[in-house]
Amino acid sequence: MATTVTAKGQVTIPKPVRDFLGIGPGSMVDFKRAADGTIVLVPAENAKLQSRFARFRGHAKGGLSTDEIMALTRGE
């Protein structure tokens, strides 16, 4: 799978490679030199960028129902 390098030195990683490596938007990758001199692209360990909202996931437990929220907003 060949790809073209842009004037800024950027490349698009082909979708089959992204899928195989499990990388997506915001993922970090490392370039490592193999023993034979080739360069290998690997997902960076523990370096995946975290959404600024990620720390709030799973915190909304036992909240109000939709009807209760609507009653509060209507002043009932």
22-33 pLDDT, tens per residue? 888 888 888 999
Residue 31 domain-assigned (yes or no) = yes
As for how many domains the chain has, the answer is 1
Alpha helices per DSSP H over the chain: 15-21, 66-74
Phi and psi at residue 13, in whole multiples of 5°? -80, 125
Residue 48 domain-assigned (yes or no) = yes
- In the chain the beta strands, taken as DSSP E runs, fall at 29-33, 39-43
Residue 65 domain-assigned (yes or no) = yes
Residue 8 domain-assigned (yes or no) = no
Residue 38 domain-assigned (yes or no) = yes
The one-letter code for the residue type at 56 is: F
Q: Any idea what DSSP says for residue 34?
A: -
Phi and psi at residue 39, in whole multiples of 5°? -105, 135
12-67 pLDDT, tens per residue? 999 999 899 888 888 888 899 989 999 998 888 755 555 666 666 666 667 788 88
Residue 10 domain-assigned (yes or no) = no
Q: Range of 23's domain?
A: 15-74
Residue 9 domain-assigned (yes or no) = no
- pTM of this structure: 0.52
